Amino acid sequence: MDPVGRHALAAVRPSTDLVIIESIVTTVGPDGRVNCAPMGVEWGDEVIVLKPFLETATYRNVTATRCAVVNLTDDVRVFAQAAISTPLYATVPATAVRGVVLADCCSWRELEVRSIDSTPPRSRIETAVVHRGFRREFVGFNRACHAVLEAAIYSTRLHLLEPDFVRSEMARLQVIVDKTAGEREREAMALLSAHIQAAIGG
């Protein structure tokens, strides 16, 4: 994951009817290297908007290739790992664009760029959905999954947030995980907790 590219995971915009959907965006660089980035995207049936920071591999790849793939997954470990590192996941070639699809995602959208606004600090890239794929039903997230997503957000914003606030929030989220998590959620939360503790201290 890019240094600033841990730009995933936003919430619903309060002032519009646009919804932000948490996804893993896969892009391919000119050298063929795959990048996986957690990102909250502005969701639409025909149009999806990506908003990567200008310093990220996602931005560089999309501007170079004019395409991307938005993957929807029910495994929060993917979000946790991609938020704090540069993981390599099994992928398969996309159908309609120069890109790849996560092999274990639930469904995906293949995108072609319509327009790019590169106003700093983060771009706004409007894309058209040119192909949809489906592997299995996305049943939904339990409370522990949502807690892990929130923890992943905090892991990408440690340079912006007060350490005491982050510690308090992580303790609150851990209670939810302890009560409702399965094995995958516990693994993801442990990964994020260790990363955050190492960064800000206990």
Give the global pTM: 0.87
Residue 172 and residue 75 share a domain: no
DSSP 31: T
Residue 149 and residue 130 share a domain: no
Residue 113 and residue 28 share a domain: yes
Domain limits for position 192: 143-200
Q: What CATH number is attached to the domain comprising 164?
A: 1.20.58.290
Whether the predicted pLDDT of 11 surpasses 50: no
> Where residue 7 falls among pLDDT bands split at 50, 70, 90?
very low
Residue 81 and residue 123 share a domain: yes
Residue 72 and residue 128 share a domain: yes
- Give me the chain's average pLDDT, please: 92
pLDDT in tens, 55-99: 999 999 999 999 999 999 999 999 999 999 999 999 999 999 999
What's the distance, Cα to Cα, between the start and end of the chain in Å? 25
Of residues 6 and 80, more confidence is placed in: 80
DSSP alpha helix (H) spans, the chain: 57-65, 76-84, 143-156, 163-180, 183-200
Please state the rounded mean pLDDT for residues 178-195.
97
